[in-house]
Structure 1
Amino acid sequence: MKRIALNGLGRIGRLAVRQLGAQQLGMGQPEFICAVNDPAPLDQVIQLLRFDSVHGQSALPIGGHTENGQDFLLLGERRVPLFHALDPSLIPFPPETRLVVEASGRFTKRADAARHLKQGVSHVVISAPSPDADFTAIAPVNGAELDPERHRVISNASCTAHATAPMLQILDEAFGIEEAGMSTVHVVTNDQKLLDQPHKDRRRGRSAFQSIIPTTSSAFGALHRAMPALPPGFNGVALRVPTLSVNLVDLVATLRRDADLAGLRTAYEQAVCRRWKGLVALADPHTVSHDITGRRESVIMDLDLTMALSPRFVKVFGWHDNETGYAARLCDLVVDLAGRI
Structure 2
Amino acid sequence: MTVNDDSFTNWKIREEIAESMIPLIGKLHRERDVTVLLHSRSLVNKSVVSILKTHRFARQIAGAELSVTETMPFLQALTALDLGPSQIDLGMLATMYKADERGLSVEEFTAEAVAGATGANKIERREPRDVVLYGFGRIGRLVARLLIEKAGSGNGLRLRAIVVRGGGAQDIVKRASLLRRDSIHGQFQGTITVDEENGTIVANGNAIKVIYADDPTSVDYTEYGIRDAILIDNTGKWRDREGLSRHLRPGIEKVVLTAPGKGDVPNIVHGVNHDTVKPEERILSCASCTTNAIVPPLKAMDDEYGVLRGHVETVHSFTNDQNLLDNYHKSDRRGRSAALNMVITETGAASAVAKALPDLKAKISGSSIRVPVPDVSIAILNLQLARETTREEVHDYLREVSLTSPLKRQIDFITAPDAVSSDFIGSRHASIVDAGALKVDGDNAILYLWYDNEFGYSCQVVRVVQHVSGVEYPTYPATAV
Q: Do these two structures clear the TM 0.5 threshold for a shared fold by scoring above it? A: yes
Q: 1:34 aligns with which of 150, 160, 175?
A: 160
Does residue 237 of structure 1 match 2:367? yes
| Count of residues in correspondence between the two structures | 336
For residues 118-197 of structure 1, the aligned pairs below 5 Å read 118-149=249-280, 151-197=281-327
The answer to whether the 8 A contact 2:338-2:372 is kept is yes
Rg bigger for which structure?
A: 2
Gaps of 5+ in 2: 1-127, 473-481
CA distance in 2: counterparts of 1:233 and 1:178, whole angstroms = 7
Tell me the equivalent position of 2:136.
Answer: 9
> Match of 2:238?
107
1:288 corresponds in structure 2 to 420
Corresponding residue for residue 311 of structure 1: 442
Higher helix proportion, which one?
2
Question: Does the 8 Å CA contact 1:8/1:105 hold for their aligned counterparts?
Answer: no
For residues 46-100 of structure 1, the C-alpha deviation after alignment (integer angstroms, 9 at most, x for no partner) is 1111111110111132221122xx4111121122211110111112323414211
In 2: Cα distance, 1:200 partner to 1:267 partner: 44
1:19 is matched with 146
Taking the aligned partners of 2:173 and 2:236, their CA distance within structure 1 comes to: 22
Question: One-letter code of the match for 1:191?
Answer: D
Deviation at 1:231, TM superposition (A): 4.2
Counterparts of 2:264 and 2:173 in 1: how far apart (Å)? 34
- In 1, Cα distance between the equivalents of 2:173 and 2:264? 34
The alignment status of 1:270 with 2:400, answered yes or no, reads yes
Q: Contact 1:133–1:153 (CA<8 Å) still a contact in 2?
A: no
Could you say which residue in structure 2 is the equivalent of 1:83?
Answer: 211
| Identity percentage of aligned residues | 30
What is the TM-score when the length of structure 1 is the normalising length?
0.94
- Kept in 2: contact 1:127–1:155 (CA 8 A): yes
The one-letter code matched in structure 1 to 2:427 is R
How far is 1:230 from its partner?
A: 3.3
Greater relative contact order structure (CA < 8 Å, 6+ sep): 1
Query: C-alpha distance in 2, partners of 1:238/1:31?
Result: 35
- Mark the CA change 1:279 to 1:233 in structure 2 (over 3 Å): closer, same or farther: closer
Aligned mates of 1:211, 1:230 — CA distance in 2: 35
Distance 1:213 1:131 in 2: 25
- Counterparts in 2 of 1:288 and 1:340: CA distance versus 1, 3 Å: closer
* Structure 1 alignment gaps of length 5 or more: none
Q: 1:222 Cα deviation (Å)?
A: 2.4
> Do the aligned partners of 2:233 and 2:258 also contact (CA within 8 Å) in 1?
yes
Aligned Cα RMSD in Å? 1.7
- SS of the residue aligned with 2:217? helix
So what's the TM-score if we normalise by structure 2?
Answer: 0.67
Q: Quote how far apart the aligned CAs of 1:305 are.
A: 0.6
Looking at structure 2, the residues matched to 301 and 311 of structure 1 have their Cα atoms a distance apart, in angstroms, of 19
Take 1:213 and 1:175, find their aligned partners in 2: how far apart are those partners? 34
- Conservation of the 8 A alpha-carbon contact between 1:184 and 1:250: yes
| Separation in 1, partners of 2:278, 2:228 | 20
Distance in 2, matches of 1:187 and 1:231, equals 30
Partner SS state of residue 359, structure 2: coil
